[in-house]
Amino acid sequence: MSAELNGQVAVVTGASRGIGRAVALQLAALGAKVVVNYHSHPEAAEAVVEQIRSAGGEALAVRADVSEPAAAQKLMDEALAAYGRIDILVNNAGVTRDNLLLRMSEQDWDTVMDINLKGAFNCLKSATKPMMKQRYGRVVNITSVSGLAGNAGQANYSAAKAGLVGLTKAVAKELGSRNITINAVAPGFIETELTAGLAEDLMKTAVSLTPLGRLGQPDDVAHAVVFFVSDGASYITGQVLSVDGGFVMQ
């Protein structure tokens, strides 16, 4: 276990599976104490905690629906009660409710907005208070190439993820003077439970449009998150890094 993040406390939302799980495990491997947030998969979250503990790390699973302000606050309160501080926040919790615009229900629009965008807003408000007091913090928002280039059938998801980019840049300007950096990582097509449900022909098309010619892995995204929370990125804020095999080039 590396000591690069020893003494630091990380809260990772949506950390029971996929990208969130990979992020939690990599942060723990670097010595961070990790609060593994989940909403619907307690067994998976506890499995992540157990994997961290069995490797000699410290971790805690906390259930919270981050789209609810009180639940997001309770998540941060539990992190503070357990570990005394919050140094790192990774806003990863997200859902999709794909459909063409004319067929998309108001509920599907609201659900995606509430979890993907409002959830990050709620967690930012609650986590940055202790970060401001300690004059140190690292926040990474997980957006998407859909938020950079749009994606047909994902008007809600694309809008929410584009909103995360704007949120990242605005809050980076607000909190920079407190030594708090806010950056974003925009994954492309990553092999997770979320993409496993996509049609095979869609996935083949995605791979064919990706210059590196393959799907990404959750660890590919986690490596970028680790960079943003490291000392090596201490002079970087308000940036969006695509981890997409070249799918979208800005």
Q: What residues are annotated to the active site?
A: 157
Of 144, 192, 150, 194, which Cα lies nearest the Cα of 164? 144
Helix 155-175 vs helix 119-134: angle between axes, to the nearest 10 degrees?
Answer: 10
Name the residue with tokens 């949506």. 14
DSSP the chain: ---TTTT-EEEETT-SSHHHHHHHHHHHHTT-EEEEEESS-HHHHHHHHHHHHHTT--EEEEE--TTSHHHHHHHHHHHHHHHS---EEEE-------B-GGG--HHHHHHHIIIIIIHHHHHHHHHHHHHHHHT-EEEEEE--HHHHH--TTBHHHHHHHHHHHHHHHHHHHHHGGGTEEEEEEEE-SB-SHHHHTS-HHHHHHHHHTSTT-S-B-HHHHHHHHHHHHSGGGTT--S-EEEESTTSS--
CB 139 within 8 A of CB 124: yes
